[in-house]
A = this chain, B = another copy of it.
Amino acid sequence: MAVVVQNIDRADRDVIAKLGMAGVATVHEAQGRTGLMSARMRPIQQDKAIAGSAVTISAPPGDNWMLHVAIEQLREGDILVLAPTAPCDMGYFGDLLATSAMARGCRALVIDAGIRDTRDLRAMGFLAWSTAVSAQGTVKETLGSVNVPVVCAGASVAPGDVIVADDDGVCVVKREEAGTVLAAAEKRLAAEEAKRERLAAGELGLDIYDMRGRLAEKGLKYV
A residues in contact (CB < 8 Å) with B: 1-6, 23-25, 28-29, 32-34, 36, 38-39, 42, 46-47, 49, 60-63, 65, 68-69, 71-72, 85-91, 94-97, 99-100, 102-104, 114, 116-119, 122, 132-137, 139-143, 149, 151, 154-156, 166-169, 171, 192, 195-196, 199-202, 204-206, 209, 211, 215, 218-223
Determine if A24 and B135 form an interchain contact, defined as CB atoms under 8 angstroms apart.
Answer: yes
Closest beta carbon of chain B to A120's beta carbon, Å: 9
Closest beta carbon of chain B to A122's beta carbon, Å: 7
Measured between beta carbons, the chain B residues less than 8 angstroms from A90 are 61, 86
**Cβ contact of A118, chosen from B151, B167, B220, cutoff 8 A:** B167
Determine if B223 and A28 form an interchain contact, defined as CB atoms under 8 angstroms apart.
Answer: no
Measured between beta carbons, the chain B residues less than 8 angstroms from A209 are 68
* A87 nearest in chain B by CB position: B89
Measured between beta carbons, the chain B residues less than 8 angstroms from A122 are 47
Closest beta carbon of chain B to A209's beta carbon, Å: 7
* A202 nearest in chain B by CB position: B103
Determine if B117 and A25 form an interchain contact, defined as CB atoms under 8 angstroms apart.
Answer: yes
Measured between beta carbons, the chain B residues less than 8 angstroms from A94 are 25
Measured between beta carbons, the chain B residues less than 8 angstroms from A151 are 151, 154-156
Distance in angstroms between the alpha carbons of A117 and B143 in the assembled complex: 26
